[in-house]
Structure 1
Amino acid sequence: MSTFQQLGIPADLIRGLEELGIITPTEVQLKAIPFLMEDGGDLVAQAQTGTGKTAAFGLPLLTKVDPKSKDIQGLVIAPTRELAKQIGKQLFRFTKHSAKIFTEVVSGGDKIDRQISALQRPTQIVVATPGRLVELVKQKVLSLDAVRHLVLDEADEMLSMGFKKELEQIIAWTRGRKSTWLFSATFPDAIQQLVHGCMSAKPHRLTIDAAHVVNRDIDHRFAVCPRDEKAQFIADYLERRDDERGLVFCRTKAGAITLGKVLAKHGLAVDVLQGDLTQPERDKVMRAFKKGRVRVLVATDVVARGIDVDGLAFVFHHQPPDQLEYYTHRSGRTARAGKKGVSITLIEPRERAKLERIGRELGVHFREMH
């Protein structure tokens, strides 16, 4: 098994990783880091959330920027404010013991005046959501002329959220870059077109086997449960574990709102995170959850990207997810920082085949609950 030192990561960055408990490289890090450190050219990586992508592109990016230069040299684009902030936080933590590299996060939902003020300082890396970055460039608040490395994280999600025009504009503004590193869980036609439009003829490609993605500290369980009895099942489970906190995932906004109301009637400290909330409302929900005032957070898949809360004991899947990578993303919210966790999928009798497919493709063994 290779170490970060063997992958070429400098000792000062490794020290920062060790303090975060990141000791052994994940598969995406093993495959991406050597190429990005040595060659650094265009990269197309198929990898799901939870694979360790931030370190896979973040560590090489940190080694390639010049801390003495005041220009923005690295640009990371992410689909959501939550994910952008998580990436920015990780990059900051990685550099705790290295030469100071300044990273700023600019995203919709935060006050733009504060971001404009922050960008007056020397900044080597910007992490941004597409819409806010375009807004700031058009206001001439920042320049992308010196960007040498562009990272598109969760590119498929950005396109599904309608950011195609913004991405094309950002790509046009950074034509002087040396490389583009694109990470995506899926590769629909729109992603293929994006790759052809912004990369060299033969970018380096890598795929992360889904079976190597799932955290082995997670206990995977399922229960066969009629739809109208699922809320009662969750409430009964939580009554037996009154000190545990966690997440419940729903496929739709309407389903999340309805489930939140039902669980609240059971006396649970619950709140809902879904796409119709304004950014201040979402911030309020997340603050309450992080501080422990909310015990159970009901969420939809897209808005939950970037949630990073320690100490969550469980994840419930109110319905099995439609996309395989969503199971990995959902389950990965528990069993963090070396702790154990449980992932419980509630299925109706006709959904057994879907659960079996998830287990087979991810190499997960599901134990039935009664």
Structure 2
Amino acid sequence: TSSNRQTMLFSATISKEVKSISKKYMRDAKEITVSKVNSSAKNIEHHIYDVSSRNKYEALKRIADFNPNIYGIVFCRTKRHTKEIANKFMAEGYNADAIHGDLSQNQRDEVMQRFRSKSLQILIATDVAARGLDVDDITHVINYSLPDDPEVYIHRSGRTARAGKSGISIAISNNTEKRKIKSIEKKGAIKFIPKEVPTGSEICSNQLYKLIDKIENVDVDEEQIKPFLDNIYKKLEWLSREELIKRFVSAEFNRFLKYYKESNKLTSKRSRDKRSSKRGDRNGKSLTAFSINIGRKHRATPLDIISIVNRALKSNSIEIGKIELGRYQTFFEIDKDHKDDFIKNIKKIDFKGNDLVLGEPSDFEQKPSKSNRGNRRDRRNTEKRSNSRNSSKKRKKKKSRFR
């Protein structure tokens, strides 16, 4: 190598590890920064929500619901958390997906393309998977898991408020993370603004205003809808203006009203969720479990299962519980009141050319809520042990007959 060579090291953050590498491979290295060291952009607001660990996911949901125009990234510590949250969000109808180390390059590119085009509102990611991620107009960065290194927090928050725009960086934390918060404030020269998790009433108000804004600003193509207007006027002429508005708002808005009807403050010591005190019972409704003959091998996703239920029952307001994707089959729950109609109508539905066959798994209630994309090994091991015990019992029975 030439004695006149120049060695350069680029890093988004200058952590202890990066400094160690520079000392090992470089001589008399000069540090050049394009912004203040260990400081966050001034046009970013830093909010903190203090909740118990068991309420973190519910808090995340409420923050997302409170900000209907959110275009953000949720950072998690591990791949497992990333998968779990993404699968829960998708199962509950959120416009979300995840990037993590288990995705192939093609899968990652496909998710990122949807996020950049704003087909996805929420991206759930680990720090490693999000390296090199460069997306404009991000409104929120949410730290579902706080990082150990304050510089990582600063780097995460820097993904919002670009090109002179403002943004919000959110930390969902609990009492055990006070030292981390103080360390981030000190090294990042920032001050967290304490916030209370939005109440059901506040969320419903924001969602309603979004709906009104959407109606006020929608582009009306009169030529396109003209052929249908006479029939629409005739069908709705018996309704007054006030009654029409009430029914329209209810049709668009009932999901939030029902979900948050009896919600508690998450900061209270009482159990925050009366809706789901028992497994298989949400919003006071009893759920029934099914298995279906499609899974990851058929490239099915939780959104596909939701779509199948909606198509079979010709409604998008059916209560859907857990969704667990297996390799060749999927377990899921729906409102028990629609069980018979679902069984009857599923025969008319197919998935990518595959006929759909339902089962009623008796062991579904005992299954723990696991990531939809993982835990195959655990499931196979359980099945093997079960088969081994069953075959052992059969051998004992055969022997007893000849005694």
TM-score (norm 2): 0.45
The structure, 1 or 2, with the larger RCO (C-alpha pairs under 8 Å, 6+ apart) is 1
Question: Which of 1 and 2 has greater Rg?
Answer: 2
TM-score (norm 1): 0.49
